[in-house]
């Protein structure tokens, strides 16, 4: 089923049922890997919010949240690799088991920057969970410990991912088709 806004179309790539099933599996795996530890979920605003909310409810035991916001410099279509910190965490992560939760891993430049600054703060463990992974786009040597779905190199929206701030509320992930693309 295609969702239509302003003549743009979103062709479903991953249904909400598949997302829910995969997030249940990821939650179980994360708790299995850290059986007794309190886990701090560190969400990257804004795209990670729906994924973090669902993932948190699938990890039994003690889980807390914090959020960080970053933006890239330069044109959106071009990855410059320069990242700016717009909102820092509220609390220290020293000695904690931290799981960075991100919507999508693309070039990897954003996470590379984030990991560098987070590592300096001496967490006990620093792991990465992403809902989507565009493997073929990778520039930085970054790999996620928990991946929901590997996807092809297409511009996707929904489940937190936006196009000009829209579509974040879609319950599924789809490929955005702009009118000029036919």
Which parts of this chain interact with ligand 5GP (CB under 6 A)?
47, 79, 102-110, 155-157, 161-163
Shortest distance, position 94 Cβ to ligand 5GP, whole Å: 25
User: Given phi > 0 = left and psi -120 to 50 = alpha, else beta, which region is 7?
Assistant: left
| Dihedral (CA of 51, 109, 88, 163) sign | negative
Tell me the β-bridge partners of 45. 69
Alpha carbons 97 and 125: distance in angstroms, whole number? 5
Measured from the CB atom, the residue of 62 and 88 that comes closer to ligand 5GP is: 88
Measured from the CB atom, the residue of 43 and 123 that comes closer to ligand 5GP is: 43
Is 35 within 8 Å of 93 (Cβ atoms)? no
Active site residue 106: yes
Measured from the CB atom, the residue of 63 and 156 that comes closer to ligand 5GP is: 156
What backbone phi and psi angles, to 5 degrees, belong to 46? -100, -15
DSSP string, 56-72: HTTS-S-EEEEEEEEEE
Shortest distance, position 167 Cβ to ligand 5GP, whole Å: 8
Measured from the CB atom, the residue of 58 and 110 that comes closer to ligand 5GP is: 110
Q: Residue 145 belongs to what H/E stretch? A: none
**The one catalytic residue among 106, 133, 145, 162:** 106
Shortest distance, position 60 Cβ to ligand 5GP, whole Å: 27
Shortest distance, position 52 Cβ to ligand 5GP, whole Å: 13
Catalytic residue numbers read 106
């Amino acid at each position: 089923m295609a969702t239509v806004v302003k003549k743009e179309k979103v062709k479903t790539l991953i249904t909400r049922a598949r997302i829910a099933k995969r997030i249940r599996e990821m939650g179980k795996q994360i708790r299995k890997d850290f059986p007794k530890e309190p886990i701090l979920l560190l969400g990257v605003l804004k795209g990670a919010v729906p994924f973090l909310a669902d993932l948190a409810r699938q990890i039994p035991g003690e889980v807390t949240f914090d959020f960080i916001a970053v933006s890239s410099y330069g044109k959106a279509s071009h990855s410059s690799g320069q990242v700016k910190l717009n909102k820092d965490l509220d609390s220290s992560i020293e000695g904690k088991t931290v799981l960075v939760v991100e919507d999508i891993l693309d070039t990897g430049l954003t996470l590379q920057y984030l990991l560098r600054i987070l590592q300096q703060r001496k967490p006990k463990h620093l792991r990465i969970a992403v809902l989507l992974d565009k493997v073929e786009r990778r520039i930085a040597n970054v790999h996620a410990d928990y991946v929901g779905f590997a996807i092809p190199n297409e511009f996707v929206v929904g489940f937190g991912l936006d196009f000009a701030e829209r579509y974040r509320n879609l319950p599924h992930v789809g490929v955005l088709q702009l009118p000029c693309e036919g």
